[in-house]
Amino acid sequence: MNLSLQDPFAVAKEYPETLTHKLQYGHSVVIQFNHKGDYLASGLSDGSVIIYDLTCNAGVITILQHQGHVRPICSISWSKCGRYLLTASQDWSCKLWDLNKVNRQEEEEFEDPPVIRSIKFDGPIWSATLHPENHFLFTASLFDDDPVLVDMSTKAIQIHKLSTIPLQLQHQDESTSADGAKELKSVKKSDKQMTLVTTFSPNNGAYIFAGTSKGWLNIISTETRRTVHSIHIANSNIKNLVISPNGRKLAINSSDRIIRQVSLPDLINISDPSEWDFEVEHKYQDVVNRLQWNSVAFNHNAEFLIASTFGQSSQDIYMWETSLGSLIKILEGSSEELIDVKWNSHRCTIGSTGLDSGTIYLWSIQFPQKWSALAPDFVEIEENIEYEEKEDEFDIIDEVALNRKRLEEEDAIVDITTTETVDARGFDTTMDSFIIPINYELPLTFIDKIT
Amino acid sequence: MEEPPLKIQKKEDSNDKGNIGSVLRDLFTEKYSITPQHGVGINTVKFSPDGKRLLTCSSDGRIEVYNVDDGKLLTTLRGHLKGVSDVTFSPIDYNIIASCSDDLTVRLWSISKGKCVKVLRKHTYHVTNVKFSRKGNILITASADETITIWDIMSGVSLKTLAAHSDPISSIALSPDSTLIASGSYDGLMRLFDLESGHCLKTLSFNTSSGTATASTTDVLNSPISHVEFSPNGKYILSSSLDGYLRLWDYMDNKVMKTYSGPKEDDSKVSTSHCCGSKFITRSSSPLIISGSEKSGLLFWDVQTKEIVSQIKKTDTTILDVDVYDGGSLVAYCTIDGVISLLDMNTSFKDAI
């Protein structure tokens, strides 16, 4: 509601331009905004997870430590409702947190810990992503192993292995198997590849997108767990796969220093996977410096794409406009290399983590203070104007008559109950999001550790 | 507990609104009345968000929690050295309340433990109003030291101080999404602040003459604002001012949409010396506004027609605050001489849901 009273030009801005905040508590390595954009989870190098409340730039809401990770966090994923958080760490484990169980007395947390599921893998995890609708389902890419789909709905956790081999090569295998096992082995060995990243398609999560070390993109059905479509996008490692929140575009960051922007087909209405067409719309690269990209992110409607740059010499975030593929903005202000980058559309904020200090940098829109807001009968004007006295300016008005007239004019119907469903930026305001409980009785000394 | 018969004053004077007070005369029935200590004014009455508890604070520094069903006293919280002006429940933890007092402190209390868990000090004069943000982690207090302070509860530090008024702030309200603070002050102005940035976004003032409306000019007199309240959808602000009227503002347009006045026999004034609370009732077939008054008891207006459709008056005493639960299914009010009453909306008037 505050937006409708702010400067409309500032509200209409589509991307932030100024570095406004730095959050510094521990060494942050990965960040993630919740879907409503009012909380920020930050994974630290010591394995704990901090959740910040972004309203009013207030501080830390909770620290997830108890029964938590012991090695650096490598990925964080929020459930759509905002109540559950999936974290993956370099200690080879994934944990699902129920945020309704945080901030209680120590004894309570001991008996009924906020970690409701915990899975230990046989090796390191690249990343883990929660299903958009089912917070008990997640996919993870593992080091030197096939990707997995994990069902945690019961305490007996089911881990399903997914295939790394692209669909086309799978068929080859079948045909060559008739010729003899020896030949098959050699084919397989030369083509040995690993899945490095996995993510769900947005909205219904019907498909898993997986990127391999040989530049293949595999699309796997979540329901049947079979590869339904594969394409060869690049010739090197796929480092990041990011699908825009509206499901229209996919960004593939690979180690050949190119970010490929792919227009996604309508995965829901075109049911035959063989009819899907993946067209590379743009290739983003820094031709002069040949920069590698650390990570990429879209805004909510895929109009903009941002990427953080690799290397100590560059400390910027590049922003492209996706329809024409032109570079429109370089976000500056940090004094170190930036690693993770995330876009919070609801608040029009971009967040990023610094490599050396672990500081979280936030770029957002600053609203100018209008002094005329303090005096209702003053207006801000661009230049001096000659004041013209109104004809009735110093007339003596009969106040009784004026008041009667005012009262008579008050005949409009006022609707005091119907609420607006969208805010001034066009976002749904009716969306319910979980509110993390607070322990009001926590002694103030707890905070001394933070400040 | 005795149940005194409820007197609904009928107005028989022959004015153009001859039948006011009888239109919805059976709108509410009184469930019970409590007088904890006669003569000690109860400043605020609040329902817990689940409608099970009733919270009151009084001029002698006591905060009391009652059971809504039977009016039984559950807990008394003592600690404030002077009168308590306002209390409120945390929206996310009904066991926690915040209070503010003339002893300059703001306190957080645990009801189950019956003790104060946090004291916030910064104001330099009487603290008049306290509100929680929607997520319960931010506290907003208004004070007679002319400032509004925004506190982060987890750390206990004040995040921002909004100093824009030039007289004591009598009342603050928060928009339903907790992004806007509306404040009413004795300088006669209502200001809207952005909770996020602390910027003043708008100033509203009502003055009778046609001259300038700014408080800095002495030729115009703005009546002090005694209470502000957002409409349930947050699009309008209901203000009470000490010129005796309630006004419903369209704050986007800087316009008074409706003016509500008191009964004719009380000079059409609601209150000219006390800050009387007001609320919206949405459960009735057409929305109503309810307000306490200086000597006319409890008044109910139809939002659209501006007419008094009901009046509940037992004595001539001033009703300082009202609160509603579930859009008006339950109404509680408290008086300056120490009476707390609970009213029940008769089912026949409830909008079918």
A399 interaction partners in chain B (CB closer than 8 Å): 208-209
Residue A376 to residue B208, Cβ atoms within 8 A: no
The C-alpha of A225 sits at a distance from chain B's nearest C-alpha, in angstroms, of 40
List B residues 89-118 in contact with A (Cβ-Cβ < 8 A): 90, 92-93, 96, 108, 110, 113, 117-118
B180 interaction partners in chain A (CB closer than 8 Å): 1-2, 5
Per-residue pLDDT reduced to its tens digit, A120-148: 999 999 999 999 989 999 999 998 888 99
Closest partner residue to A375 (CB to CB) among B134, B203, B259 is B203
Residue B257 to residue A410, Cβ atoms within 8 A: yes
Q: Residue A387, exposed/middle/buried by CB under 10 A (0-12, 13-18, 19+)? A: exposed
Instruction: Kindly give the parts of chain A with pLDDT less than 50.
Output: 177-187, 189, 445-451
Strand order in the sheet with B298-302: B278-281, B288-291, B298-302, B308-312
CA distance B70 to B342: 10
CATH C-level class of A2-170+192-370+432-446: mainly beta
Closest partner residue to B214 (CB to CB) among A375, A399, A403 is A375
What is the CB neighbour count within 10 angstroms for residue A373?
20
Beta carbon pairs, A and B, within 8 Å: 169
Rg over alpha carbons for chain A, rounded to the nearest Å, is 27
- Helix (H) and strand (E) counts for chain A? 6, 28
SS3 (DSSP) at A344: strand
DSSP class of residue B70? Answer: T
Q: Given CB atoms, is B285 within the 8 Å cutoff of chain A?
A: no
The C-alpha of A140 sits at a distance from chain B's nearest C-alpha, in angstroms, of 33
A85, A101 contact by CB (below 8 A): no
B324, B50 contact by CB (below 8 A): no
A416 interaction partners in chain B (CB closer than 8 Å): 231-233, 235-236, 248, 280, 282, 287, 303
Residue A417 to residue B212, Cβ atoms within 8 A: no
A448's tokens: 């001394």
List B residues 204-263 in contact with A (Cβ-Cβ < 8 A): 204-205, 208-210, 212-214, 231-236, 248, 250-252, 254, 256-259
Q: Which pLDDT belongs to residue A59?
A: 81
A56 interaction partners in chain B (CB closer than 8 Å): 133, 138, 150, 152, 159-160, 195-196
The C-alpha of B308 sits at a distance from chain A's nearest C-alpha, in angstroms, of 15
CA distance A371 to B75: 47
Q: Given CB atoms, is B173 within the 8 Å cutoff of chain A?
A: no
Residue B282 to residue A61, Cβ atoms within 8 A: no
B175 interaction partners in chain A (CB closer than 8 Å): 1-2
A418 interaction partners in chain B (CB closer than 8 Å): 233
Residue A55 to residue B156, Cβ atoms within 8 A: no
B195 interaction partners in chain A (CB closer than 8 Å): 2, 55-56
List B residues 138-167 in contact with A (Cβ-Cβ < 8 A): 138, 150, 152-156, 159-160, 164
Residue A444 to residue B155, Cβ atoms within 8 A: yes
SS3 (DSSP) at A236: coil
Instruction: Catalogue all structural domains in chain B, each as residue range(s) with its CATH number.
Output: 33-203+221-351 (2.130.10.10)
Q: What is the pLDDT along chain B (353 residues), one digit of tens a residue?
A: 444 444 444 333 333 333 444 456 678 888 899 998 888 999 999 999 999 999 999 999 999 999 999 999 999 999 999 999 999 999 999 999 999 999 999 999 999 999 999 999 999 999 999 999 999 999 999 999 999 999 998 888 899 999 999 999 999 999 998 999 999 999 889 999 999 889 999 998 886 544 444 444 455 567 899 999 999 999 999 999 998 999 999 998 888 899 999 998 888 889 988 899 999 999 888 899 999 999 889 999 999 988 898 888 888 899 999 999 988 899 999 999 999 999 988 887 776 44
* Closest C-alpha to B335, from B7, B13, B44: B44
- Percent of chain A scoring above 70 in pLDDT: 93
Mutation pick from A398, A416, A425, A441 vs chain B, by most beta carbons of B within 10 Å, is: A416
The C-alpha of B97 sits at a distance from chain A's nearest C-alpha, in angstroms, of 10
Residue A419 to residue B194, Cβ atoms within 8 A: no
Q: Which pLDDT belongs to residue A428?
A: 81
Contacts 24+ apart (CB under 8 A), B310-314: B310/B8, B310/B21, B310/B23, B310/B24, B310/B25, B310/B27, B310/B28, B311/B8, B311/B9, B311/B11, B311/B20, B311/B21, B311/B263, B312/B6, B312/B8, B312/B28, B312/B30, B312/B343, B313/B7, B313/B8, B313/B9, B314/B4, B314/B6, B314/B7
The C-alpha of A1 sits at a distance from chain B's nearest C-alpha, in angstroms, of 6
A296, A244 contact by CB (below 8 A): no
Those residues with Cβ within 8 angstroms of residue B24's Cβ, 6 or more apart along the chain or in another chain = B284, B300, B309, B310, B349
Q: Which pLDDT belongs to residue B265?
A: 84
The C-alpha of B64 sits at a distance from chain A's nearest C-alpha, in angstroms, of 20
What is the CB neighbour count within 10 angstroms for residue B286?
13
CA distance A51 to A246: 25
A81, A31 contact by CB (below 8 A): no
Nearest residue of chain B to residue A4 (CA atoms): B252
Q: Which pLDDT belongs to residue B4?
A: 44
A406 interaction partners in chain B (CB closer than 8 Å): 256, 259
Closest partner residue to B159 (CB to CB) among A56, A373, A413 is A56
DSSP string, A393-426: TT----HHHHHHHHHHH--S---SSPPPSB-TTS
- Helix (H) and strand (E) counts for chain B? 0, 28
Residue B138 to residue A435, Cβ atoms within 8 A: no
Residue B178 to residue A55, Cβ atoms within 8 A: yes
Residue B196 to residue A410, Cβ atoms within 8 A: no
Nearest residue of chain B to residue A445 (CA atoms): B155
B197 interaction partners in chain A (CB closer than 8 Å): 367, 369
Question: What is the 3-class SS of A271-317, one letter each residue?
Answer: CCHHHCCCEEEEEECCCCCCCCEEEEEECCCCCEEEEEECCCCCCCE
Nearest residue of chain A to residue B232 (CA atoms): A417
The C-alpha of B5 sits at a distance from chain A's nearest C-alpha, in angstroms, of 33
Q: Which pLDDT belongs to residue A175?
A: 52
Mutation pick from A440, A446, A447 vs chain B, by most beta carbons of B within 10 Å, is: A440
C-alpha distances in Å from residue A340, one per residue of A16, A66, A197, A361, B140: 17, 25, 15, 10, 35
The C-alpha of B213 sits at a distance from chain A's nearest C-alpha, in angstroms, of 7
List B residues 3-32 in contact with A (Cβ-Cβ < 8 A): none
Predicted complex ipTM: 0.85
Residue B136 to residue A441, Cβ atoms within 8 A: no
Residue B154 to residue A441, Cβ atoms within 8 A: no
A62's tokens: 């909770």
Residue B201 to residue A2, Cβ atoms within 8 A: yes
Residue B93 to residue A438, Cβ atoms within 8 A: yes
Determine which helix (DSSP H) or strand (DSSP E) holds A10, and give its type and residue range.
helix A8-11
B303 interaction partners in chain A (CB closer than 8 Å): 414, 416
